[in-house]
Amino acid sequence: MERRQPPTADEAPVMVWRAGAGRSVDYVNQAWLDFTGNAFEQEAGLAWTRHVHPEDLARVLTAYAAAYAERSDWAAEYRLCRHDGHWRWMLDRGRPCFEAGVFTGYVGSCTDITDMKAALEERQRSVAEQEHLLLELNHRVKNNAQATASFLTLQANRAADESVALALRRAATRVMLSTLIQDRMFRAGAEAGIEIGDELEAVARSALEITGRAGLALEVSREGRFVLPVSRASLLALIVNELVVNAAVHAFPDRREGHVRLAVRGAGPGRAEVVVEDDGIGLPDEPDRPVAEGKLGLHLVPRLAQQAKAALQFHPVDGGGARATLRFETA
């Protein structure tokens, strides 16, 4: 096998430099000379600083001096002038050298990151544009939803048939509550995690308030903190919204007083459960199919639970009332 000489710094694909204990550069490789278009004699000592962009020079020299003082690794991003007059962004990294425990200077390298920074800036511009468009979309959705809710309420006030008026008012309430949930989730951000205890309590209180049912009290019990992605948290919020509205509207006829209870707690390792309970008149006659006529919310809840990857169960409560339990994994 032919014995080959080890590669030298001149063969490296990056610009390599070395500086002595006094900070003066005493070596640069061929890639550096090719970049500047100069001979080594024109780059020795501190001559390299004349290639640094004036806006970056003070910052670079400060970092350079601090690294020397601390004998620590250093890194800086700055613009360096190429032989053709173009400014290129460099990532400069240096590491202290020692011989027999004695500090002898630094060795480092410069990597051209201009294209990477340009791509990053373009991505940031794109993200900013998308955020602006999403903000505008959220604003328009809210305006349209509010207009829809107002139209439904107006139609309800004009309806001669009381059952039609009631259906329209419930539809308006559902639109308003869904809009509130959508707005809170939008403000949290798609990539964020939502602490569902805080969110579900806020949703339950809003739902009970918007239904306008006097004489109903909300009791909240929370044990532990459970963070879920926005996509799943929003589905659970919609479910709690529907369950609370359904309880307020159907479980207490003749505007009788009562309680709606929300519980958020652990259900074993990596699992949690959400319970919505009332002390009203109880479930319909068909407990396996709690979707009596007029109760659109209970038609929606099982579908929402399936999307949220949650197990849903309805149970009667001893002494009167109904309980809905959602169990799901938190990991």
Query: Both 86 and 32 in a single domain?
Result: yes
Q: Which domain holds residue 90?
A: 13-112
Local structure of 223: helix, strand or coil = coil
Examine residue 89 and state whether it is found in any structural domain, yes or no.
yes
pLDDT tens-place string over residues 53-75: 999 999 999 999 999 999 999 99
The pLDDT value recorded for residue 172 is 79
Is there a single domain that holds both residue 27 and residue 145?
A: no
Count: domains in the chain: 3
Residues of the chain with pLDDT under 50: 1-5, 287-294
Note the pLDDT of residue 183: 73
173 plus 197 within the same structural domain: no
Q: Let me know if residue 122 belongs to a domain.
A: no
Domain co-membership, 195 together with 249: yes
Kindly tell me the sign of the dihedral angle through the C-alpha atoms of 204, 209, 210, 211.
positive
Per-residue pLDDT tens over the stretch 279-319: 988 876 554 444 444 455 567 889 889 998 999 999 998 88
Per-residue pLDDT, 55: 96
Q: Is residue 5 part of a domain?
A: no
The CATH code of the domain that includes 201 is 3.30.565.10
Of the candidates 169, 188, 207, which is a domain's last residue?
Answer: 188
pTM given for the model: 0.54
Residue 279 lies in a domain: yes
Residue 2 lies in a domain: no
User: Of 141, 169, 188, which residue is a domain's last?
Assistant: 188
Output the pLDDT for position 107.
94
Residues 65 and 155 in one domain: no
Are 212 and 324 members of one domain? yes
Cβ–Cβ < 8 Å for 239, 214 = no
Examine the domain organization and report whether 102 and 153 are in the same domain.
no
Q: How far is CA 130 from CA 136, 143, 302, in A?
A: 10, 20, 33
Q: What stretches of 40-192 adopt beta strand conformation (E)?
A: 74-81, 87-99, 102-112
Q: Tell me if 82 sits within 8 A of 36, measured CB to CB.
A: yes
Q: What is the pLDDT of residue 254?
A: 78
Q: Do residues 103 and 133 share a domain?
A: no
In the sheet where 322-329 sits, what is the strand order?
216-222, 258-266, 271-278, 322-329, 310-316
User: Are 310 and 252 in a shared domain?
Assistant: yes
The answer to whether residues 138 and 226 belong to one domain is: no
Burial class (CB in 10 A: 0-12, 13-18, 19+), 22: exposed
Assigned domain for 97 exists: yes
Residue 211: what pLDDT? 76
CATH classification of the domain holding 26: 3.30.450.20
Look at residues 77, 89, 80 and name the one whose alpha carbon lies nearest to residue 36. 80
Is 24 part of any domain?
A: yes
